[in-house]
Structure formats: C-alpha cells, structure tokens
C-alpha cells in the first residue's frame, strides 16, 4: 500500500518503455491510441470453446497495453486505471452497437455488468479487486448496474498461466458460482483480456445457470496468435 501511495506522488518510469516520470509516456499512449483506431471488434478465439459468448475486444494483447494491464493488476499502478477504464468502455460500446440483442436489453434496462473475479491472490495481497475498480470507473455516472462480487470462485483453481486451452477448460469447469438471481437479465461479462476463452466460458455457464437470458462479453485486449494464418 505504501508503495502504491508513493507511486502517486513520486516520479515513476513508463510501464511501456521505461521513459522517466510518467506511468505511461506520451509515446506509449500514442501507440495504444493508434492501435485502438481500428475500433472494437469480435475477438477470434481459435478454437472457440462450446458456450463462449460473443467477445468484443479493442486491442491485441501486446506492447504498451499489455504492460499497462499487467502493471495495474499485478504491480498496483493505480494511475493507469482511467486509461484502462476508457479502453474497456470503448469495447463495451462496440458490443452495444454491434449486438442487437444487447442493445434491446439496454433499452429495457435489463443489462447487468459482471466483472470477472480477480485472482484469489490479488485479493489476499491487496485486499481489493483491481479489475472490478476499472469496470466501476468505466461506468461511473451511467445507469448501467455493475454487480459487485457477483462471481465467486467456489473451489481452488490452478494458476492459468502456462496451461493449454483444454487444460484451462478442465481447470475451470464448474469453478465459478453466481451469488444472485439473474433471471431475465442480459449479462455483460467484463474482463481485461481473452486468451483461450476458458474463463469467459465458465463465467457464462455460471450466469446462465443463474437465469441470465443472454450473455455477452467485452474485454480490453485479446491475445495475438503468432505464426498462424488469420481467419
């Protein structure tokens, strides 16, 4: 906590390139803005797990945006929160614009936004949920409700890093539970990144089991699969 406070007042280095005296220097901000110019689009998850909702994304999980997400989540760089919130909000806007089912639900005020739970470790070490804070910031002043701590991890799961797609799916199957009734709701699952889709698929299963009428997802970035043909 003291280090986080110190970060707010003392000079720091850019998480993207190491430049002095900026959490994210103008050059790295410009890099992210350039990459985001293409606008939100549906993420290509190959192969998509059965039950994966449509996932809207803004950026490739690479370069400065990757550094910013990791620095905020794992190293407590709170100053990056507004940037991440703005990026996620654009992805959500893409989902609303591109998905007529979600748009109709929004007009009927049936939409609930549910942030993916931060890892148990993040809770233990910092006593807060950094990702939920990003989502709440993104929707501050909006009438769109954010269901806080609606998704619970109900059993121990292994760290997903280093696991392949099928191992991730097995690791997470049945791991999440929803703490409220979602009957008739259109749920937007909010996460920072999508990789294999295992987390969003398990979250979608849990919210459907709680009665959700439709499930949608918005993330900031999706992982780039290098060396594979696109399509």
In the complex with Zn ion, the residue whose CB is nearer, 150 or 220, is: 220
Minimum CB distance to Zn ion, residue 206 (Å): 38
Element (H, E) at 42: strand 41-42
In the complex with Zn ion, the residue whose CB is nearer, 18 or 174, is: 18
> Looking at residue 218, what DSSP letter applies?
E
In the complex with Zn ion, the residue whose CB is nearer, 23 or 216, is: 23
Minimum CB distance to Zn ion, residue 72 (Å): 15
Minimum CB distance to Zn ion, residue 227 (Å): 27
- Closest residue by Cα to residue 192 from 51, 74, 48, 99: 74
Provide CB contacts within 8 A for 110, sequence distance 6+: 184, 185, 186, 213
Minimum CB distance to Zn ion, residue 82 (Å): 17
Note the residues at the interface with Zn ion (CB under 5 A).
Answer: 14, 16-17, 19, 25, 28
* Residue 192 structure tokens: 């920072």
In the complex with Zn ion, the residue whose CB is nearer, 27 or 184, is: 27
Element (H, E) at 59: strand 59-60
C-alpha 197/C-alpha 44 separation (Å) is 10
In the complex with Zn ion, the residue whose CB is nearer, 12 or 153, is: 12
In the complex with Zn ion, the residue whose CB is nearer, 67 or 195, is: 67
Query: C-alpha 96: how far from its chain's center?
Result: 16
Minimum CB distance to Zn ion, residue 139 (Å): 28
Number of H helices, E strands in the chain: 9, 8
Where residue 46 falls (left for φ over 0; alpha for ψ -120 to 50; beta otherwise) is beta
Minimum CB distance to Zn ion, residue 59 (Å): 16
Pairing mode of beta strands 151-153, 214-222: unpaired
């Amino acid at each position: 906590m003291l280090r986080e406070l110190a970060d707010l007042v003392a000079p720091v280095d850019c998480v993207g390139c190491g430049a002095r005296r900026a959490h994210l220097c103008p050059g790295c901000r410009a890099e992210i803005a350039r990459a985001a110019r293409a606008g939100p689009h549906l993420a290509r998850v190959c192969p998509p797990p059965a039950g994966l909702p449509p996932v809207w994304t803004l950026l490739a999980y690479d370069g400065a945006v990757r550094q910013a997400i990791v620095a905020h989540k794992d190293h407590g760089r709170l100053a990056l929160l507004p940037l991440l919130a703005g990026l996620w909000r654009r992805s959500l806007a893409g989902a609303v614009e591109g998905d007529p089912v979600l748009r109709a639900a929004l007009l009927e005020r049936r939409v609930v936004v549910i942030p993916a739970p931060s890892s148990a470790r993040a809770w233990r070490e910092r006593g807060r949920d950094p990702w939920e804070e990003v989502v709440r910031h993104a929707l501050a002043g909006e009438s769109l409700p954010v269901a806080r701590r609606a998704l619970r991890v109900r059993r121990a799961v292994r760290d997903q890093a280093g696991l392949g797609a099928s191992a991730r799916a097995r690791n997470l199957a049945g791991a999440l539970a929803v703490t409220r009734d979602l009957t008739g709701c259109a749920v937007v699952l909010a996460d920072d990144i999508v990789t294999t889709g295992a987390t969003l698929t398990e979250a979608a299963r849990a919210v459907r089991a709680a009665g959700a009428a439709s499930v949608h997802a918005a993330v900031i970035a999706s992982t780039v699969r290098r060396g594979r043909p696109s399509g």
